[in-house]
Structure 1
Amino acid sequence: MNQHVLRQRAEHQFLHELDALAAQDQKTKPPQWKLSPQAVVTYLLGGKLDNGVEITPKYIGHRRLMEIAVATLATDRALLLLGVPGTAKSWVSEHLAAAISGDSSLLVQGTAGTSEEALRYGWNYAMLLAKGPSAEALVPSPMLNAMKDGKIARVEELTRIPADVQDTLITLLSEKTLPVPELGSDFQAIKGFNVIATANNRDKGVNELSSALKRRFNTVILPVPDNLEEEISIVQNRVASLGKVLELPDSPPAIEQIRRVVTVFRELRSGVTEDKKAQLKMPSGTLSTAEAISVMSNGWALASHFGDGLMTAHDVAAGLMGAVLKDPVQDRVPWQEYLETVMKERDGWKDLYRACKALD
């Protein structure tokens, strides 16, 4: 394991937690699973083990959603994680694969250019031309490798994949078999194989899943955080984790700075202030929890490298405005209204108001 990689995969970054869970896991494990379903949920939600090891929470939210997701993967149905951008779909997908298979790398990234080969297999064309179709010339996809090894395969942004390519999954998920007509044979999935797909429900209408494909998935909708404190906790944990990976100097952001950024995001995306006393115009962006994490990480870097290490409103303002003003023309009206009617009048927020106005 290379300690110098910018972002370690979950099974490497949290190896000590996975090992600690495995060491005391006495529950029944489905075939090929590294941990029992109960231990997988503990890994996701966090807790303290009997041996004193602290398991950090990877997902802060409803326990039942994670139980449903894990239980689905123990059946013959695939799992679809659905939600607006920034609701931790990819994050949960990676950690599920890490905890269940010990390998989160079997990933297909969905785009408009994703081909059938990415979900099935391709060919080494030099070998194909020299020797014709053969097992040696076949280049397996991450999906095929997961089938052969009895692991979890991940498909990111499923609805961005063209509909005819999506339907490649139908036979694969229902029959657990991948035919290879060129060789007159097929690959049958080993026990433990399953698929986690993610999709953005704001992409509705881009490449809708066929009804036949939808039936192969059990859908779990990941919601935006329920309340302000929950979202603050998510941002605080993820920013601290990112700071360690990026080796940012000095102290992490003060909780009060995180609280203000999260409050701005929640109010603008809901169109109402937290006290429900004022209606607000909503900007075009999603203003997700993931974006709040990015704003705070950027502010921490500014404070550390170009300040005295203590994050101020001046460090937060640029990232905050960049997140809100996705469309400089369309989003300027709701942003200006928020500045003058909410931020300017709120006790203790004058420094943030002035910092934002200075950049306007």
Structure 2
Amino acid sequence: MTTAVLRPHAEDEYAAELAALATADDRPRPSSWRLSPQAVVTYLLGGVTADGTEISAKYVGPRRLMEVAVATLATDRALLLLGVPGTAKTWVSEHLAAAISGDSTLLVQGTAGTSEESIRYGWNYARLIAEGPSEQAIVESPVLRAMRDGKIARLEELTRIPADVQDTLITILSEKTLPVPELNTETQARPGFNMIATANNRDKGVNELSSALRRRFNTVVLPLPDSADAEVEIVSRRVAQLGRSLELPAEAAALSEIRRVVTVFRELRSGRTEDGRTAVKTPSGTLSTAEAISVLTGGLALAAHFGDGVLRPHDVAAGILGAVVKDPVADRAIWVEYLETVVRERDGWADFYRAGQEIAGR
């Protein structure tokens, strides 16, 4: 009996696409890779295989960025995906690992409390006390398993990890070796091993990478969508996917409502209205594409469970307020000013203006 899960791993959710690509893939593959570099890019950006299988786009953005990312992983340099929050760094990392290794689960989540053991290895202390140091007493980290199996390891939020722990990676990435001095042994990486790390470029100064470690990475900066249409496409696709996975009994979000949310986020993010005529103040939040997706998904849940199943302006207004107002004083004033100077005067936005006023307590 198969147990449903809320969010399948990429290699499971898109298994049919990966299998179709592998069957049709006749290009050279680096050692231990499931697909050729060209097929990995097709998996990420979408396309059609020779047998007519449609490959859905996982990333909407410049093709060259994905080509550089995939080519990097075929070399001896690790890949660092850098960008502001919500630019799909984790999403791209997961799908790259799924397409290359067939396994996106070898993940270390970086935090201020991440220890060397999380990256290297730990010990089963019951066995260590009873038997002394041995291979059986080692608790392997995801990185160690990736080295042993020739797969891609993933490291989230690299700059959140303390600097002395970050430097644990230097030997692993340069020598492709992880020494185990307690046993006087080492684990050498098998072909296919590499690492994808992500970092938020707004975290500059938190725990900046040393020059020695930075040299071990090739950095690819993932930008925010460069056009409203591209951002609407990304948001529409992800909201539809999340709505299905959450089994929300609501109609699909109307394109007009998605475009409205995206427009609000882009204008507040850039400090100028779409037509370029009016300057607006920028709040302290990031107002990322990921937050727009969350606002619309939350709105669908409200429409499904407390409305008539149709997404309307008052279903998304509260979510937008929560995304915009991080500072309860300064950001609230910015939001109210935006409502009065931009939203109030915009044709077809009267319902949204009233919903925004109500939620803001005006």
Question: What is the TM-score when the length of structure 2 is the normalising length?
Answer: 0.98
- The answer for the alignment partner of 2:70 in structure 1 is 70
* Equivalence map 1:129-144=2 (5 Å): 129-144=129-144
**Matches of 1:309 and 1:220, distance apart in 2:** 41
Per-residue deviation, 1:47: 1.0
**Matches of 2:179 and 2:42, distance apart in 1:** 37
- The answer for the alignment partner of 1:148 in structure 2 is 148
Aligned length: 360
- The answer for the alignment partner of 1:55 in structure 2 is 55
- The answer for the alignment partner of 2:88 in structure 1 is 88
In the alignment, structure 1 residue 246 sits paired with structure 2 residue 246:
yes
- The answer for the alignment partner of 2:344 in structure 1 is 344
In the alignment, structure 1 residue 14 sits paired with structure 2 residue 14:
yes
SS of match in other structure, 1:242? helix
Structure 1: any 5+ residue segments left out of the alignment? Answer: none
- The answer for the alignment partner of 2:167 in structure 1 is 167
Identity %: 71
**Matches of 1:35 and 1:279, distance apart in 2:** 48
Residue by residue, what CA displacement relative to the aligned partner does 1:171-223 show, whole Å, maximum 9, x if unpaired?
A: 10000000000000100000000000000000000000000000000000000
Per-residue deviation, 1:250: 3.2
Residue by residue, what CA displacement relative to the aligned partner does 1:28-58 show, whole Å, maximum 9, x if unpaired?
A: 0000000000000000000122211111100
Larger deviation, residues 330-339 vs 221-230:
330-339
Match for 1:196: what amino acid? Answer: I
**Matches of 2:250 and 2:278, distance apart in 1:** 38
In the alignment, structure 1 residue 192 sits paired with structure 2 residue 212:
no
* Stretches of 4+ aligned residues off by more than 3 angstroms: none
SS of match in other structure, 1:136? helix
Residue by residue, what CA displacement relative to the aligned partner does 1:322-355 show, whole Å, maximum 9, x if unpaired?
A: 1111121120121111000000001111110000
- The answer for the alignment partner of 2:5 in structure 1 is 5
Match for 2:176: what amino acid? Answer: K
SS of match in other structure, 2:182? helix
Question: What is the TM-score when the length of structure 1 is the normalising length?
Answer: 0.99
- The answer for the alignment partner of 1:291 in structure 2 is 291
Match for 2:54: what amino acid? Answer: E
**Matches of 2:202 and 2:12, distance apart in 1:** 32
**Matches of 2:328 and 2:348, distance apart in 1:** 27
- Is residue 250–residue 301 contact of structure 2 (8 Å, CA) maintained in 1? no
Match for 2:101: what amino acid? Answer: S
SS of match in other structure, 1:250? coil
- The answer for the alignment partner of 2:356 in structure 1 is 356
**Matches of 1:243 and 1:304, distance apart in 2:** 10
SS of match in other structure, 1:38? helix
**Matches of 1:54 and 1:133, distance apart in 2:** 52
Match for 1:223: what amino acid? Answer: P
**Matches of 2:82 and 2:127, distance apart in 1:** 41
- Is residue 313–residue 351 contact of structure 2 (8 Å, CA) maintained in 1? yes
**Matches of 1:28 and 1:96, distance apart in 2:** 17
- Is residue 284–residue 331 contact of structure 2 (8 Å, CA) maintained in 1? yes
Per-residue deviation, 1:161: 0.1
SS of match in other structure, 1:34? coil
**Matches of 2:256 and 2:358, distance apart in 1:** 21
Residue by residue, what CA displacement relative to the aligned partner does 1:206-263 show, whole Å, maximum 9, x if unpaired?
A: 0000000000000000000000000000000000111111111132100000000000
